[in-house]
Structure formats: structure tokens, C-alpha cells
Amino acid sequence: MSDDQDKPQKADDARAPGATAGAGAGAGEKARSTDRDKARERGRDQDRNDVPRADDGKADDGEGTGEGAGGDAAEQEREEQERERERAAGRFKEHTRDPLAEEQGEDAPTDLAAAARARRATRMLFDAGRDLHSFDRSYFASAHIGDIHLRMDARRSGAALRGGPVPEEELRRLRRIHVEPEGYVRLREALTARRLLVLGAAPGTGRTSTALSLLDEVTGPATSDTQPRSATGTGAGTGAGTTTRTGAGPGTTTRTGTGPGTTTRTGTGAGTTTTARPGAAARIRRVDPAGGTRRLAECLGDGDEEAGHFSGYLFELSLTRPGTPVPDEMDLDELAAALARRDAFAVVVVPVGSAADPMLDGRYGALCPPAPTGELLVTRLRELLEEQETATGSAGGRAADLLAEAEALWTRPEVRNAVGLDDLRPAEAEVLASLLAGHVLGDLTREQLLSDCRSLAARQAQEWFAGVDRALAAPAGDEPDGERPGAASLFHPVAFRIALAVLGGASHSAVAAAAHLLTWELSVQSDPDRTPARPLFCDDPRSDLALSRAELKDGRVEVAGAEVASRLLWYRGPALPAAVLSELWDRHFAVRAPVVRWLRLLADDPRSQVWMRAAVAAGELCVRDFDHGYAELIRPLADAATPRRRVFAATALDQAAGHGSHRRIVRKVVGDWSRYGTEPLRWTAAMALGYGNSAATTGDTLDALARIAFRDEGEQLAVASFNVVRLLALPDAPAVLRRVAEWTHHKREIHQDLGLVTTVRLALTTVDEVLVDDAGSPLGDRGDWPLPLALAAARPELVRPMADLLWTALNTPRSKEVATDALETLLRSAVRGDGEEWARPGLAALLPALTTEEHDRRRLDWLLRRMMNDPEDPLPDAQARSLWWLAVASRDRTREEARHG
């Protein structure tokens, strides 16, 4: 310690919070550890190197030079030495700045902690353990598993459902397997009362099956070929009529509801149903939506053959096609009257969204909730296994045992994780039931089961993007209505899904803004001759959520270093983000260019929740095609002028290195950059090395960081030291501390500076800034703790080496000032502003190892007194004395309390 610091400590010993205790405790303490002896020797050597003596000048004075001239020369030399010391201290302070400081201002706080938290949250969406190269991309339309016919094309396209009668066979199967959604009875009663029902739901949620089931119940087949259906009906029901279904055996149901007539359906056997009039004419017709509801009303009113003699009509209305007329309330009233005259019923199925809101809010509208996943799956399983039992002629209730086995299989984590969907749509439940049944019957191995389960999310992604812009690619005039859709209206739904895959877990506003930005890029790429236009007041959040299988959750986001409440957006299934990116990159090459431009724009977004999530997603895309991702994303951003873009590139590289298939190439790239790269590339390499995956061993990582730090006279020492500190959050922290001590021991000043800067930065870094993964880390619940205190509390074996390093920094003139300020930061983290305990356990572990001798305790005493006298943030006297006692060994405290007892 220098004399300048020692004098005020001695002069004010009587007023120090623990001066008496410090003197008594240090008087008889002479034992020192070997590590501390070495640290003291290093400190003395560095004091001599940093503060050259003026002895030579004094010797010259005695050899004949004049006393006045010699005194002036010595004074000038001392002044020059002091100026050099100040310059060295200034350079040292510059090295301890945050890597992003040049972008955010010299003294402004950076968003490294927020960025690290965003990265950890995003990595949960892209599990590096699920190497995308092993993601099953083999789609098949149908296959036979034993005697089970597995259909993967259960979701038929709209073109296949345009018009025509619904076969009775389809209705019979629907009676066996349909699972009623919540509020089904209410929907049936509304259809019965008004003859017309507008049913709103997202595509794929079973809305068509529900509509057909409703029409099947309220119309009901006639009891004989010649007996006409009565509009009033008689029977056991009340009101307009009763419909009853009865069945024997597993899987049968009995339903009673009101309807225009009385009909009885009797099922026999295991889940089978027969009608009283086999081969009867079809009762329900799918109506071509091209003409709209008004055309159907006209046909019904005129007795047109186009309408036919049906008692139920299913009308699936698409509101996304340009020029599609949206029925108003008067159109629906006209259709309901025409249906009443024909003793018929109709269900109009519409997607949820702003276009359909007037219809759904009217007297005929109702929302259709999705069927419950559990019941849906069990029903499909029961049907398949009972059909298998019937086909093989086995008996003894084997189907029930297999059903229980299949249900237990579905509850296993590996199967649920492979499916990766929070809820199943009817077609997905049917496919999954086929896979589970195939496994319990011995026709599918476990590996085949898991692989095929993963294809469910991939299949959903394929349907979302298949032929989205086919209308734009068609020659002008090929549209039936002569009007081509706008590019923005076509691309916004897919842009929203891509944005959600990249930014899942961010705020709804961030995802929506990114989706609009991507909509513009896609529109310009697809239709460059037209300026994309999107109305400003036509966003439909409810439709975006429904069409993207997304949900909003309450959460918090960071703004300017503080958390605020926000609505966060997620996919309803952890497999969907990876499936969307895989589909995008593997099957739609032309879309890469606008997506790359979009990701570069996100790299410049100032919000950590945006640019860091985009960086992780970019790394996942690079795994799909590293050659393309490296050339278009990583290399240009790694050589960028702004630090945020370089961190983006480093994060993308590390995400790719998380996959075993790409670890070797990433290590080669980062190693070459650290040796031969330009200044920006070396900076990016240092940030990639800090994650711990870009070199084979911890030693190799530290060697590469040292190369970067020592080059160009320590120009990049700041970013290198920061990434050395990041490695301390990993399991191999002891090896990192040993290497830092070796640098501090080194005879070269640049090595010493790297060790000292790393030590000071360690004291100034919080856990959140460097933590790689919360899961399993002993530091995970100490996010806002200073890193050395969290390490001291969680890993006691690191206390002594950290204390020795910090002691050396406190006793080296060029690092003394910033090290003292860093120690003050550590001391103030003992308790929070409201008095709640904070990092006090860490201080209780570290301070005694840092203050083993009188000299160290006098420095602590002086620092506590300075903190107490701070005009802006004075430390309360009780806290100061509490911190003092933390630093005093227990036996010394007992001795002091005995003296004053």
C-alpha cells in the first residue's frame, strides 16, 4: 500500500468503525498461507515496477551538482512519475469498461445481463440436445402398421371439401369417434332453435367435425325408406323433438337433445353404429362457398336442383380470399328463413378473426372450442385397438389392456417431448393414436415411435407454408374473380409464425412489430413491382394467435435495466419453433434472402429480448446449412463496426457449436479468427470463446483469449478479460483462476494487466451477465449477486484464490483505485436498499480471507469510513460495523468482545 493511503488511515484510526478491534486482532497474527506470501511478493514487485524511485537523482546530487538544481530535477522526475502513474491508471480503468460501452456511452450501464437472460430463455426453445440433423423430415401420406391403416393426410385441403353430399359412411364413423367440445349442447340447441349457426374456430381444431356432428344430430336419418321425416315429431323427448343414440360395448354413447323429429340410432358391438335405413340417400351436403350464403338462400327458396333435397348444409366460408363477400345479418336472416321453409339446417364455418367478428357477434354466431386432447386421444386409441381385436378375432379383453398400456406410454416424458405440442388437433390425435397403438402391438420400435412423433410438429409447419404465395406466382388473370390478393395480406400470417419462432417468449408488441417488418421484406421479394400496403387499423391479434397456435402469458420484460409487466407470446408447443425454422430453411430456399435481411435488421434492435433471441435463432438456421448461414449472416456481422452485431454473430456461432455436428467447424473458425483475424473478427472470437464451446478445452480457450489480449499492445484486453470472467460461471472455474494467477505472476506487464483487469472485472460482474444455463447451476438462484460473492457462497474452494487475486489488485498502484471502487461495490451488496439480506453470505466467506493482517484491516477500516462519509450515498453506521465484524475472524471477535465485556 502506498504512503499516501496509509497516512489518513493512521491519523483517523480512533474514528474508524472497528479501529480498536483491528489493532487488537492484528497484533499477534503472524501466520500466513503460502498463497498469500506469493501474492504479497507479487504486490511488492509490481509496486517497485509501477513506482520508480528517485534514488538515482539523489545520488547525483551528492556528486557535485547544485542542491537547488538537483532538487528541481528530482521534483520534476517525481511529477513525471506521478503523471505516468495517472496515465497508467487511466489506461487500466479503460480496460475495465464493458464491451458494449462504446455503443451505449462511456458511463452508461450496458444490457449484457438482460441479453444473457434472453439467451438462456431462448435456448430452452431450441434444445441443443435435439440435433436438427436428426430431426425426422420423412413425410408419408399413409402407411400400414400391422393391420392399422395410418393416415398422415387427415387434414384434407379446402379443395377436397368444396361441395357434394357427405357419405353416410363418414357420418357413421363420426358418430363413433367424435369428441364433443365444451359447450356442445349449447351449440346444438342454438342450431335447433334458429336453423342456422355460424361457427367460428381456428382451422384444424375439429370445427368441421363438430359442424357435421351437429347437423347429423338435428337432421337424423329417417326410420324407413318410405316414412317421411316429421317436422314436429313425437317420442320420448320434449320440445321440437328428440334424437337418441344408443350403443352397446365400449366406445358407445347415448345423447339426448332437441330436434325437429324423433330418431333412434342403435349401435351394436364394440363402438359400431348402424342405422335403421342402410343405403339411404345422403342427408347432408357440403356447399361450394364460391357463391356465398346468398346463393344458397336463393337456391333453397327457388327449389333449385343445385340445393337438392338435403336436410343439412355445411358451408365452409373462407374470408382470406380477395373479393370474398362477407354475409351481413340480413343475408343470414334470409338464409335462415329459406332453411325453415325447407325444414333444413345449415352450419356456416368461419375462421376466427376481425373479418368474421360481425358474424360471430350476431344472433347466429358462436365460438367452437377445440376438443379436449385427452379424450380425443383415448377415443382414437380405443377405436383402433378394438378394430384390431375384431380383425384378429382375439378375445379376453386384450383391447382394454392394450389401451391402458398405450395411455401409460403417452404419459412418458420422452414421448411427450418428442411430440412437442401442448394440445392435439383431431388429425394429430388420430396420427398419434395410430403410432401408440402400433408400438403397443409390437409393430413399431421405440426409436420409430419417437421419430414419427417428432414429425407431427414438422407436418404442421409444412402445412403453414405450403403454397402461400401461389396466387401471386400465377399469371395475371388466372384468379377466378379476376382480382389478385395483396402480398402483405398473404404474407402476414406466415411472417407472424416466423417471427414467433424466432422471438418466442418476447412481448407481444415485439413479435408483432417484427412480423410486420418481415411482411414487408417478403412482399418486396415476391412482388417487387408493387409497393406493399397494409392498412394501419386492421391488425387482428386474436386471429394471429389462433392461426399460429400461440398463446399470451403474463410475464415481465426488461426496460432500461428494470423489469416491467408485459404480455409474452409463446407457441403452444416447444417443438413448433424448431419445426418452423427447419421447414423455412430446408424447403423454401427463395425465402432465405428476405429472412436474412430481416435478421440483420433485428441485430440492430436495441432491445435485448429481440436481438439476442434473433441471434440464437440465426445459429439454429446455420445448423441447417452452415455454408449459407456463415456467408450471409455470421461472417458479415462478425466484421461489423457495432459491438451488438458482433455479439450477435458470436452468439449464433455458439448456438451452432451446441450441436455436435457443427462443433468442429465452429472451433476452427473461432481459432482462425483469434490468430489471423482483423480487429473486429478477433473481438467476435473473444465473445464466442466466452461461452465455453468454441475451443476443445478450457486451457485452449484461455490461450486463445490471451492471444487476443496481448496483440496490438492490449488493444482488446477489455473484451478478452470479460470473457475470461464469463468462464468462471462454468464448472472449470479453478483452472481459470489458476491461469489468472499465472498471468499476474508474469514478468511482462501486458500479462500482469490481463490478470489484474480480469480480477477487477470479476468483482464488477453480476451472475446474470455471465451465466450460461440456469438449470443445474449452483449460481442459478443468485442472478443479481456479484459473481465473486456468489462463487464464494456456492463454491468455498474458490475463496482463497479469489481473495489472493483481489488482494494483489488492491495493492498494485495502477489497479488500486478501480479495485478499491470494486471492493466498495461488493460491500454495498451485503443488503438491499430496503434492508433485506442480499449477498451477505458471500461477503462472510470472502472478507475474512481478504483481511488476514493488520495492513488489510486498516484499508477496510478506511474504506468503510469513506463509505459512511459519502455525501450522495452514506453507509449507515450499523451496516458499516456489521461489515467490519464479517471481516474479523470468529476467534478475534470473541477476544475483542471479552475485552469490552
Q: Per the structure block, which three cell numbers stand in for 478?
A: 388466372
The pLDDT of 120-129, averaged and rounded, is 67
Amino acid at 727: L
Taking the C-alpha atoms of 75, 81, 83 and 86 in order, what is their torsion angle to the nearest 10 degrees?
A: -140
Percent of the chain with pLDDT over 90: 46
How far is the C-alpha of 592 from the C-alpha of 598, rounded, in Å? 10
Please give the pLDDT value at position 132.
Answer: 39
CA distances from 722 to 97, 707, 728, 731, 808 (A): 9, 14, 10, 17, 19
Please give the pLDDT value at position 484.
Answer: 53
Give the closest residue to 791 by CA, choosing from 343, 610, 800.
800
Residue pair 128/139 in contact by the 8 Å Cβ criterion: no
- If one compares 884 and 901, the residue with the highest pLDDT of the two is 884
Is the confidence at residue 23, as pLDDT, over 90? no
pLDDT band at residue 825 under the 50/70/90 scheme = very high
Which range, of 70-74, 595-599, 770-774, averages the lowest pLDDT? 70-74
Residue pair 24/888 in contact by the 8 Å Cβ criterion: no
Mean pLDDT of the chain: 78
CB count within 10 Å of CB 191 equals: 26
How far is the C-alpha of 615 from the C-alpha of 633, rounded, in Å? 10
Please give the pLDDT value at position 651.
Answer: 95
pLDDT band at residue 626 under the 50/70/90 scheme = very high
Is the confidence at residue 777, as pLDDT, over 70? yes
Pairing of strands 263-267, 142-145: unpaired
Tens digit of each residue's pLDDT (9 = 90 or more) over 677-689: 999 999 999 999 9
Identify the sign of the CA torsion 385, 386, 390, 391: negative
Which residues are CB-contacts of 597 (< 8 A; sequence separation ≥ 6)? 521
How far is the C-alpha of 650 from the C-alpha of 673, rounded, in Å? 11
Tens digit of each residue's pLDDT (9 = 90 or more) over 328-363: 888 899 989 989 988 899 999 988 877 777 888 888
Residue with cell 472497528: 18
Tens digit of each residue's pLDDT (9 = 90 or more) over 524-556: 888 787 777 776 777 788 888 888 999 999 999
Is the confidence at residue 3, as pLDDT, over 70? no
Please give the pLDDT value at position 570.
Answer: 95
pLDDT band at residue 281 under the 50/70/90 scheme = low
CB count within 10 Å of CB 465 equals: 17
Which residues are CB-contacts of 287 (< 8 A; sequence separation ≥ 6)? 163, 296, 313, 314, 315, 346
The pLDDT of 641-649, averaged and rounded, is 94
Give the closest residue to 281 by CA, choosing from 195, 166, 163.
166
Tens digit of each residue's pLDDT (9 = 90 or more) over 367-400: 888 888 888 899 889 888 888 878 777 655 688 8
Which residues are CB-contacts of 565 (< 8 A; sequence separation ≥ 6)? 554, 555, 556
Is the confidence at residue 240, as pLDDT, over 50? no
pLDDT band at residue 71 under the 50/70/90 scheme = low
Please give the pLDDT value at position 299.
Answer: 76
Q: Per the structure block, which three cell numbers stand in for 687?
A: 465473445
How far is the C-alpha of 17 from the C-alpha of 883, rounded, in Å? 10
What SS3 class is residue 204?
A: coil
Please give the pLDDT value at position 857.
Answer: 92
Is the confidence at residue 306, as pLDDT, over 80? no
Which range, of 14-28, 335-349, 626-640, 660-674, averages the lowest pLDDT? 14-28
How far is the C-alpha of 515 from the C-alpha of 492, rounded, in Å? 7
The pLDDT of 100-111, averaged and rounded, is 53
pLDDT band at residue 876 under the 50/70/90 scheme = very high
Residue pair 272/281 in contact by the 8 Å Cβ criterion: no
Tens digit of each residue's pLDDT (9 = 90 or more) over 134-181: 343 444 444 444 444 444 444 444 444 457 888 888 888 888 888 888
Burial class (CB in 10 A: 0-12, 13-18, 19+), 683: buried
CB count within 10 Å of CB 665 equals: 16
Tens digit of each residue's pLDDT (9 = 90 or more) over 185-199: 999 999 999 999 999
Q: What is the pTM of this model?
A: 0.80
How far is the C-alpha of 616 from the C-alpha of 656, rounded, in Å? 9
Give the closest residue to 428 by CA, choosing from 391, 459, 407.
459
How far is the C-alpha of 699 from the C-alpha of 706, rounded, in Å? 10
Amino acid at 306: E
Please give the pLDDT value at position 780.
Answer: 79
Percent of the chain with pLDDT over 70: 72
Which range, of 32-36, 69-73, 462-466, 815-819, averages the lowest pLDDT? 32-36
Exposure on the CB side of residue 487, measured as CA atoms within 13 A: 20
Pairing of strands 256-258, 242-247: antiparallel
pLDDT band at residue 308 under the 50/70/90 scheme = low
Is the confidence at residue 478, as pLDDT, over 90? no
How far is the C-alpha of 309 from the C-alpha of 307, rounded, in Å? 7
